Structure 1
Amino acid sequence: MSRRPEAPPRGARTHRTRSSSRFRGWLRHHRAMALDSSWRLLRAPFDSLVTMLAIAIALVLPAALWLTLDSARLLDSELTESATLTVYLEHRVDEAQAARIEEALAAREGVARTRLITAAEGMAEFQHSLGLADALGRLEENPLPASVVVSPADPAPAAVRGLAAELEAVTGVDEVRLDLAWIERLRHLAELGRRVALALGVLFGGGVLLVVGNTIRLAVENRRREIEVVTLIGATHAFVRRPFLYSGAWYGLGGGLMAWGLLTLGSEWLAAPVAALAASYGASFSLPQLGAVGSVTLVGCSILLGWLGAWIAVSRHLAQVKPR
């Protein structure tokens, strides 16, 4: 005969019931405070919109600068990958020897591909670029040497410099021309811009904390009597702090959405002029977009700053609110 499982002790069932009841009460209070704080913001739409707009303006500038630097980083990687070496051969090297030197260079380790430009081809390109075909055609001897354009397998500046030093030692090579200074300048500018963007982000983040903190401080002062009453009957600081934290989060959410909207509208507004400017230089360029991850990050950081500003303001002023 099978035995029936023993029922748990009555005290354990009572403890679990009370814990579950407290948890449901905690959730109900959070839901009620979230709805109540949102309703208080809706009852003062102008003041709420002004606060959210101040948060949005504080977030737009560092976010826009960071997007610009991100596009510069992508451009820098494209330019680095397109870096080439120009190997100028000695004047005494004829076309057959130049072809053999090109084959030797192409077979070297670290070389992705090569392209031979004979002296005649170099002169033709030079005449076409300057529009001086008649004047240069009167020269008795072509002063330009043959050259080989080398694309390195590793576009890193250190690797390219090492490859250039190796190619200069090849027999028949007169000079290897390498110009990475402008790429390095672009990288230094991008690094400077990233640090400026980080500093601006910290400064404007502090501005968001001040804006939200001042708004919540005024809300605490307006509800001082209510806070004194609930504190007098035994409410904890966490209970009193909760509606103000939700207010700060709502401010942050509204400010983050406004900042996202301003960035999107600004990108659409500037897209056509930027594309036309890039086309005039024979290039294609489009303004960077936030994307899903960037949008969530922007709004999430705004909510976090709003919540943190409210927490600092309420914690500071709760210590000053004493029941009378």
Structure 2
Amino acid sequence: MSPRPTPSPTPRGARTHRRQPRSRLRGWARHHRLMCQDSAWRLFRAPVGSLLTMLAIAIALVLPAALWLTLDSAQLLDAELEESATLTVYLAAQVEEAQAVRIDEALAAHEGVANTRLITAAEGMAEFQQALGLTDALGSLDTNPLPASIVVTPREPEPQAMRVLGESLEQVNGVDEVRLDLAWVERLRHLGELGRRVALALGVLFGGGVLLVVGNTIRLAVESRRQEIEVVTLIGATHAFVRRPFLYSGAWYGLGGGLIAWGLLALGGEWLAAPVATLAASYGASFSLPHLGPGGSAILVGCSILLGWLGAWIAVSRHLASIRPR
């Protein structure tokens, strides 16, 4: 009876080779976790300095974020005003009321017109008298000098589209003049564009300020641990290994600054909500200050963390190049 063949054992080197990447991954994750906890603990051990750094980051983020929120609210108001943009079509003086009704129907059938409202000469005079309070003086006139008019609401409130529509409506028989006031719409758009550029410039400038604040704080931390860095570099630690705890410190600074900025914006919005609502009500309008919302809050905190991490990376990279083990 032939002996049973013995299965060849797996080479020890192959098993070691399969385990090595997993052990490296576990060691890498463990070191990240330890450095994250250690950097947070170091911040808690120096609460005053850490809080001051976070406050500086928060103040640098609040100003451009508040301006951006204001621009968003102004953009919403601009959209509402554009929707209320109209053209006033003045009919010829000799047009009678029945003919004015037919012209109104013709204008309403135009493809670029959303709706129309006919104001007869008598209705126009009545509104004029009520607005000026000159009922007795204007009532003594023998003839009505005001022509009939039609208020046209366009489908597209864009300035260029309204100009084209006005030129088209002027060709209708019985129309004397078409007036459209687009200057205020264009001014609002120019102001909105200027505000967006100012907000972007302030965001870049204050973002650079955040980098400087975090970079200076991390630079001091690197100098305070210079001997420790020299020792671990001497025994073979890489720059990524040395840089890791400081990157987590920068991210923690950014997280704290972002949360404080979010809280300041929320408190400021609640503090100004009542006066703004009262002011809007005095003009017969309803307006409320915008809020960040979940998406805006996540963007604010995420940008703060990113700026903190980037400031730490720049500061550590510059100083690691000058540190040599002795």
Shorter chain as denominator, the TM-score bin is over 0.9
Figure out how many residues of one structure are paired with residues of the other and give that number.
Answer: 320
Query: Secondary structure of the equivalent of 2:199?
Result: helix
Question: Which of 153, 173, 176 is the matching residue for 1:174?
Answer: 176
- Give 2:225's aligned amino acid: R
Q: Output the CA distance in 1 between the equivalents of 2:73 and 2:91.
A: 38
Structure 1 match to 2:218:
216
Distance 1:160 1:14 in 2: 76
Counterparts of 1:256-271 in structure 2, within 5 Å, are 256-271=258-273
Partner of 2:185: 183
Identity %: 80
SS at structure 1 position matched to 2:157: coil
The equivalent of 2:241 in structure 1 is: 239
For structure 2, the 5+ residue unaligned runs are 1-6
Query: Compared with structure 1, are the counterparts of its residues 110 and 240 closer, same or farther at alpha carbon in structure 2 (3 Å cutoff)?
Result: same
Please name the residue that 1:13 is paired with. 15
**Which of 151, 157, 170 is the equivalent residue of 2:159?**
157
Identify which range, 182-191 or 72-81, moves more after superposition. 72-81
Tell me how far apart the structure 1 counterparts of residues 188 and 11 of structure 2 sit (CA, whole Å).
Answer: 73
- Displacement of 1:6 in angstroms is 9.4
Cα separation, partners in 2 of 1:102 and 1:6, compared to 1, 3 Å: farther
The aligned counterpart of 2:26 is 24
Which residue of 2 is the match for residue 92 of structure 1? 94
Distance in 1 (alpha carbons) for counterparts of 2:285 and 2:179: 24
Among 270, 281, 284, the residue aligned to 1:282: 284
The answer for the alignment partner of 1:33 in structure 2 is 35
Amino acid of the structure 1 residue aligned with 2:199: A
Shift of 1:252: 0.2
User: Which amino acid in structure 2 is aligned with residue 220 of structure 1?
Assistant: V
Question: Residue 207 of structure 1 corresponds to which residue in structure 2?
Answer: 209
Equivalent position to 1:251, from 239, 244, 253: 253
CA distance in 1: counterparts of 2:136 and 2:284, whole angstroms: 28
| 2:65 match | 63
Q: CA deviation at 1:13?
A: 2.9
TM-score normalised by L of structure 1: 0.96
Alignment correspondent of 1:111: 113
The gaps in structure 1 that reach 5 residues or longer are none
- Give the whole-Å Cα distance in 2 for the aligned partners of 1:319 and 1:108: 72
Which SS does the other structure have where 2:25 is aligned?
A: helix
Task: Give 1:134 shift.
Answer: 1.4
Note if 1:194 corresponds to 2:196: yes
d(CA) in 1 for partners of 2:205, 2:127: 53
Residues in 2 aligned to 1:162 and 1:7: alpha-carbon distance in whole angstroms: 86
Question: How many angstroms apart in 2 are the aligned matches of 1:148 and 1:74?
Answer: 28
Distance in structure 2 (CA, Å) of the matches to 1:186 and 1:320: 53
Separation in 2 of the partners of 1:159 and 1:274? 34
CA drift at 1:113: 0.8
Give CA-to-partner distance per residue, 1:55-104, whole Å, 9 cap, x none: 00000011111111111111111111221111010111111110011011
The CA distance in 1 between the partners of 2:289 and 2:17, in whole Å, is 60
Read off the aligned partner of 1:55 and give its amino acid letter: I
Select 1:323's aligned residue among 315, 318, 325: 325
Cα separation, 1, equivalents of 2:13 and 2:130: 97
Report the equivalent of 1:297: 299
Amino acid at match of 2:59: I
The normalised TM-score by structure 2 is 0.96
